[in-house]
Structures are given as structure tokens and as C-alpha cells.
Amino acid sequence: MFTDTFQRIIRGLWPILVVWLFKFNELNKALVVSGIVGLFVFVAIVAYLQYRNFTFYIDDTNEEFIINKGVLNKTRIAIKLQKIQQVTINQSFIQKLIGVYALDVDTAGTQKKEAVIRAVSHQLAQDLKKRLLEGEKNSESETTTATDQNAPFIKISFSSLVKIGITSNYLRSFALLIAFFGTLYENVQSYMRANEIDGDKFDAYVDQGLAMYSITILILILLGVLLLLNLGRTIIKYFDFKITRQHQSLLLSYGLLNTKNTIIRPEKVQIVSTSRNYLQKKMDTLTLKIRQASGNADQEENDKQAIAIPGCSEAERDRIMALLFHKIPEQGVALVPNIRRLIVGGVLYLFVPLLILFLLYEFTVLPIAEYLIFVPLYITFTGLLLYFGFRNNRLFVTDEFIICRKGVWDIEHQIIEPHKIQAIRTSQLFWHKSADIGSVTLYTAGGKIAFHLGDFSNIKELVNLWLYQVETAPKGWM
């Protein structure tokens, strides 16, 4: 009990401490110290009262989970057991030290977690979770419970994590590298100009060589640091990744410092996406992302909430897919984006910038000439990005799955089932009417999938088919 309270105190005090650290010099020291002590006591009392008033129980007659909390403002939260979407057991670093767990209860309704129970023992957490999730499927037989709980269905090995850690986030690293080269080039340029004034060629050559050498080393170090950071982040976040089968759902648990437990129920899954790049393909490893119904409009927010399973092999991916979809999705008829996509991209990202550059070069006195060496680099880089982005963009449609493939380096497959569609939006610019091309966006409760500039007659036909499927299918979206 004391540990719980103490933990709350630390939590409560944390932001105030930060503020005080900054202001420390400006204030009277004695006042500050007494203030700290007073605040500490105050926070302790409040925390203790909050702790005293925080109770939770399960109301069996109404099938509700009830939480009472608050000191002055009393709050009573009642959640219907069958509305509970997800119960996760997490453990932050501090909680790990004290040996308690946090239990999050989530329903589909709002963005934030409905209820958070901060500090419970492991046994209690497990029991609660089981009890809370049972409420939903009380009709189901309980034969398949305890036995398969212990044996992990899939275990992500340390080496797979290393593979993912090394190979992911290349684009970000690459952009950083480009920026770095830019400044490097500028430095060398100014150095050379300085050289011209300076007569002594030999000294300059040595100096220059030295500078280049040290810069190369610096780049190598930077690259190494980037790789290590990526690797460390991946390993700390996803260490000891275990997937266990429970009833019909998947139980994930992972994390080195903060241990996280999440449940995925196949019927709540909206979008499954796999992502891998060229290197990861060669190493047979990929990242699987699962989006569940969240009630979030915001795509980015959705991305944050998506559950990632890093370092799956293809076989493991197929096993997870088989469990989630009851069969392995296959790519059917492919829809190809119109060539205009490539042309418009070229005009926007190649022609227009180059035209502006040319105009600036011709009509202003800006020192553009010395940067002209970047132009071919830019053209190849952007050209490649555009080309691969275009080539990889496909929409595969079968009767049971819609798969959208996209990406330049990291190629992503987003997979949805037609009956998860909430709404369909088609869009066509008026100058695309005669060319018969247009876009379609499929909205699901876990995010949207968009395919732009495809053959519009084809798209319309597909939309009719999907509408038919949604409107006649007996399957609900959740």
C-alpha cells in the first residue's frame, strides 16, 4: 500500500520538480526548501486520499465493471462487460521495481482509455483481465482455456529483432545523411574558396585531406550511432515478444523495461498491414501491424495505436493471418494506377522545382551555380522515388480481401476484408473525366485505405461489388 502511494507521489510531483529545477536560482532557497517539503506533504495527503477513494469491483447482476474514484469530485465509472474492447496489462519501469501492474480497460467509444487501474498485483491483474473479458463471451465453452495458455504460439527471437532493428527506419536515416552531405559539401566549397586566396597549395592539400578524412570518420560514426539507436529502441520496446493463443484471440506480451500485454481479437481487427523493405525481404523478416476498431478519426492517432509485431518471418505471418482471417489472403486481380500519376509527380517534384531553380539562376544573383552539382543527384533520387512509388502502388481485389500495396523502399501491404468497410468515397477531378480515372477511399473503423488515379470504370464496378458485399453479408464489422 505504501509503495502504491509513494508511486503516486512521484508521479504527481514530477512536473513540479522540473519547473522548480529551472527556477531554482531565482528564488529564495529557504522558501524553496520549505515549499518543496510542504508540497510533498500536500501531494502525499492528496495521493493517499485518492488512493483510499479508488475502488473497483465487478457487478455480477448488471454485468458491469465499476470504478469509484475522486476525493472532492466523486466519479463512478460503469462499463458494461460486453462493451469492453481490450484489457491490457502494462508495467512501466517504476512499476517493475515495485512489482505491481497497471490495468487498462478500453472500449470502442472514445479516444482515451476509459479506465486505468494503476497498481495491482500480478495475480489480481490476471484474474481481473480474465473476468472482464469473459463477460463478453459467456456463451462460449470454456474447454480451451488453461492448457494452451502457457505455450507461446509464436515467439519472436532476439535475432529477428536485431534484423528488424538494423534494417528499419532507413529512410529517416537516409534523409539525415543527405542533410549531412549537404552541409559537408558546403563546408568543402567554402574551404576551397579560402584556398584560392591562400597561395600555399601543399599545406592546403594536406589540411583538406585531413578534413575530408575526419569528416568521413564522422559520417561513419553518425551512421553507426543511428543504427545502434534504431537497434536499441527496437530491442527495448519489443524484447521477448511472445504471442499466445487464448480462446480465439491472440495475446501479445513484450518489452524489456516496460512490459506490455495486449489482446487481439480477430473479429475486432480492421486492417492488417505488413511492411518490409528490400533487405528485410532478403532476410525473410517483416513487421506486421494490426489496427483494431478504435473510434479515432485521426489517421496518425490510429497509427500510434496500431499494434506492431516486428520480426515475423513469412511463415509466422501466414500463421497469424490464418488465425485472424481464417485463411491466408491472396492477391487477386490487380488495379494499376494511371500513368498520369507518374507524369503529374514528375511535373510537380522534378519539372517545377527545376524550372524555379533555372529562373532563379537566370534572373537573380543568388549563388546557385555552386549547388548545381546537386541537380543530377536530385533528379535521380526523386525520379527513383517516384518510379518505385508508382510501380509498387497496386490494389489487389479478391472476393474476400482487398489488398493495397504501396511504398517506395518500405513496401506496405494493407489488407482488409470487404465487410469491414464502413463507407466508400469515390472522387474524380473534372479534368480526369474524359480520361476515365479517379480515386477511391475505403473507410474502416481502424483507418482508411485509399487508391488514387485508377481506372474509374473499374473502380466503380468494384465499389458496386463491395457495396453489395457489405449490404448483403451477414457478417458485422465487429
Beta bridge partners of 288: 274, 309
The reply on whether position 403 binds another protein by CB under 8 A is: no
Query: Applying CB under 8 A, which of residues 204, 443, 452, 455 lies at the interface with another protein?
Result: 443
Considering only residues 89 to 118 of the shown chain, the ones binding another protein according to CB under 8 A are 108
Tell me the window of 181-189, 321-329, 378-386, 465-473 that interacts with another protein (CB under 8 A). 465-473
* Grid cell at residue 122: 500480478
The reply on whether position 326 binds another protein by CB under 8 A is: no
The reply on whether position 460 binds another protein by CB under 8 A is: yes
Considering only residues 279 to 308 of the shown chain, the ones binding another protein according to CB under 8 A are 293, 295-298
Other residues' Cβ atoms within 10 Å of the Cβ of residue 271: 24
Query: Applying CB under 8 A, which of residues 144, 157, 159, 426 lies at the interface with another protein?
Result: 426
The reply on whether position 441 binds another protein by CB under 8 A is: yes
Query: Applying CB under 8 A, which of residues 444, 451, 453, 454 lies at the interface with another protein?
Result: 444
Alpha-carbon torsion, ordered 450, 277, 341, 299, to 10 deg: 30
**What is the separation of C-alpha 21 from the centre of its chain, rounded to a whole number of angstroms?**
33
Q: Which of 165, 402, 387, 168 is nearest to 275 (CA)?
A: 168
The reply on whether position 36 binds another protein by CB under 8 A is: no
Considering only residues 229 to 268 of the shown chain, the ones binding another protein according to CB under 8 A are none
The reply on whether position 198 binds another protein by CB under 8 A is: no
For another protein, the closer CB: 150 or 472: 472
The reply on whether position 373 binds another protein by CB under 8 A is: no
The reply on whether position 473 binds another protein by CB under 8 A is: yes
For another protein, the closer CB: 287 or 458: 458
What is the DSSP track for 306-342?
A: SEEEEEE-HHHHHHHHHHHHSS-----EEE---HHHH
> Among positive and negative, which fits the CA dihedral 29, 33, 34, 38?
positive
What is the DSSP track for 328-391?
A: -----EEE---HHHHHHHHIIIIIHHHHHHHHHHHHS----GGGTTHHHHHHHHHHHHHHHHHH
What is the DSSP track for 163-210?
A: HHHHHTTHHHHHHHHHHHHHHHHHHHHHHHHHHHHS--HHHHHHHHHH
Query: Applying CB under 8 A, which of residues 243, 288, 402, 462 lies at the interface with another protein?
Result: 462
The reply on whether position 461 binds another protein by CB under 8 A is: yes
The reply on whether position 471 binds another protein by CB under 8 A is: yes
Kindly state the smallest distance separating residue 318's Cβ from another protein, in Å: 22
Mention every residue, 6+ apart, whose C-beta is less than 8 A from residue 412.
Answer: 273, 274, 275, 405, 406
Tell me the window of 30-38, 51-59, 92-100, 421-429 that interacts with another protein (CB under 8 A). 421-429
Query: Applying CB under 8 A, which of residues 53, 189, 195, 422 lies at the interface with another protein?
Result: 422
Query: Applying CB under 8 A, which of residues 448, 451, 453, 454 lies at the interface with another protein?
Result: 448
For another protein, the closer CB: 187 or 464: 464
φ/ψ (deg, to 5) at 447: 130, 180
Judged by CB under 8 A, the number of residues near another protein is: 41
The reply on whether position 269 binds another protein by CB under 8 A is: no
Mention every residue, 6+ apart, whose C-beta is less than 8 A from residue 77.
Answer: 66, 67, 68, 69, 114, 115
Tell me the window of 119-127, 188-196, 215-223, 422-430 that interacts with another protein (CB under 8 A). 422-430
Query: Applying CB under 8 A, which of residues 83, 427, 434, 454 lies at the interface with another protein?
Result: 427
Q: What stretch of H or E contains 441?
A: strand 437-444
Q: Which of 86, 261, 250, 291 is nearest to 153 (CA)?
A: 250
For another protein, the closer CB: 321 or 449: 449
Contacts 24+ apart (CB under 8 A), 62-66: 63/135, 65/105, 65/115, 65/132, 65/135
Kindly state the smallest distance separating residue 131's Cβ from another protein, in Å: 21
Kindly state the smallest distance separating residue 54's Cβ from another protein, in Å: 32
The reply on whether position 421 binds another protein by CB under 8 A is: yes
* Grid cell at residue 179: 542533410
Q: Which of 470, 364, 359, 354 is nearest to 417 (CA)?
A: 470
The reply on whether position 468 binds another protein by CB under 8 A is: yes
Kindly state the smallest distance separating residue 407's Cβ from another protein, in Å: 22
Other residues' Cβ atoms within 10 Å of the Cβ of residue 170: 19
Residues that bind another protein (CB under 8 A): 108, 293, 295-298, 399, 421-430, 441, 443-445, 447-448, 460-465, 467-478
